[in-house]
Amino acid sequence: MFSYCTDPDTLSGLTWLSCYLTTGKHMALYGSFGTVLLLLAITAPTALALGFVGASAARSHIAPLSWLGKFYIAIVRGVPDIAFFLFFVIALDQGIEYLRHKLRCPDWSEPIRQGNDFVVCSAAKMPLSTAPQWLHEIYGFGLAVVTFAIVFGAFAANVLFGAMRAVPRAQIETAEAYGMSRRQAFWRVLVPQMWIYALPGLSNLWMVLIKATPLLFLLGVEDIVYWARELGGAKTARFTSYPHPDWRMWYFLALLVFYLVFTRVSEVALERLTRRLSRGQATAAGEALRKAATT
């Protein structure tokens, strides 16, 4: 990064540290923070959309649709997250390659399952072995996003389902008595009011999602945990120009500070959103706002 970094053996003190912290691997570490933020930016709205669909299906008057929504909520919430992450990513990846194998290699005569190995033709690999590295990284990241969205979508569905039931039934009946259809009452009365009831649960879910991002490391994505372990491990002059002892404690301490700051910023933003949604609502928070305005 700096011109004086060409010969690390001549460096010491802050110049050594400045060169060490600007190596290519450290740049990858700094970029991995963006990977985590991108995962949250994509997963949160996707999981919320899945949750809304699941909750709407669970409260549907069509029995099979209601069973499907409740089954989705129960089956995903009942499986440990780490087990679902590890199983679903492998199953989804092999399912995609299996379908591609059947389409692209119909003359293949060998079994796909060979002991513990899953063997498909080279044309069915996803992505192809000749694909650039960035495509492999995007594919792995995409699998991670789908997995996170499905898991946290089930929890969001459970929160939204409870919030929909918390809206007074009398308001829905009044809307229908004034001539609204069931769909109009759902979108104009139920949905606008349910968010204040759902926000506490969704806030907790957002915090859990933040804390779950280190699972990217288990899914093969080079995230901040991967690089903290890689860079923090002891380095000797034989393997690197910047030898150092085991510094993993300091790297993981930096991750601790990052997550604490991020969750604190999230808490402040969620508190403001709660106050905004509470205005005019017949809730304890809405009543507190009304009393504060009159004093």
pLDDT of residue 52: 94
> Is 90 exceeded by the pLDDT of residue 46?
yes
Paired with 235 in beta bridges are: 244
Query: What's the N-to-C CA distance of the chain in angstroms?
Result: 59
Q: What are phi and psi of 10, to 5 degrees?
A: -95, 0
pLDDT over 80 (residue 144): yes
| 61-80: pLDDT as tens digits | 888 999 999 999 888 888 88
Tell me if 52 sits within 8 A of 160, measured CB to CB.
yes
pLDDT tens string 2-44:
666 766 666 677 877 777 777 778 888 888 888 889 999 999 9
Where residue 1 falls among pLDDT bands split at 50, 70, 90?
Answer: low
The CA-based angle 157-158-160, given to 5 degrees, is 65
What's domain 33-237+245-250's superfamily in CATH? MetI-like (1.10.3720.10)
Residue 55: the pLDDT is: 92
Burial of 119 per CB tally in 10 Å (0-12, 13-18, 19+): middle
Element (H, E) at 92: helix 81-104
Q: What is the pLDDT of residues 219-252, one digit of tens each?
A: 777 788 888 888 887 777 656 677 777 888 888 8
Residue 126 banded pLDDT, cuts 50, 70, 90: confident
Q: Which residues contact 188 (CB under 8 A, 6 or more apart)?
A: 175, 180
Tens digits of per-residue pLDDT, 247-274?
Answer: 888 888 999 999 999 999 999 998 888 8
Three-state DSSP at 44 gives helix
In this predicted structure, the answer to whether residue 288 has a pLDDT above a threshold of 90 is no
pTM of the full structure: 0.80
Strands of the chain, DSSP E:
113-114, 117-118
Rounded to 5°, the CA angle 182-172-291 comes to 145
Give the separation between CA 84 and CA 146, rounded to whole angstroms: 12
Q: Which two tokens stand for residue 144?
A: 């991670």
Three-class SS state of 167:
coil
CB atoms within 10 A of CB 195: 15
Sorted by where each begins, the domain ranges of the chain are 33-237+245-250
Residue 202: pLDDT band by 50, 70, 90 thresholds?
Answer: very high
pLDDT band of residue 291 (cuts 50, 70, 90) is low
> How much is the mean pLDDT over the chain?
82
* Rounded-to-integer distance, Cα 51 and Cα 157, Å: 4
For residues 142-162, give the mean pLDDT: 90
Q: Which of 17-31, 39-53, 277-291 has the lowest mean pLDDT?
A: 277-291
What tokens appear for 165 in the block? Answer: 């039931």
Write out the DSSP string of 203-251.
HHHHHHHHHHGGGGGTTT---HHHHHHHHHS-B-TTT-SS-B---HHHH
Angle at 261 between CA 138 and CA 42, to 5 degrees: 30
What's the rounded mean pLDDT across residues 159-184? 87
Confidence at residue 284, expressed as pLDDT on a 0 to 100 scale: 47
pLDDT greater than 60 at residue 287: no
| pLDDT on residue 2 | 67
- For residue 283, name the pLDDT band (cuts at 50, 70, 90): low
- Which residues 6+ apart lie within 8 Å of 152 measured at CB? 43, 47, 51, 205, 208, 209, 212
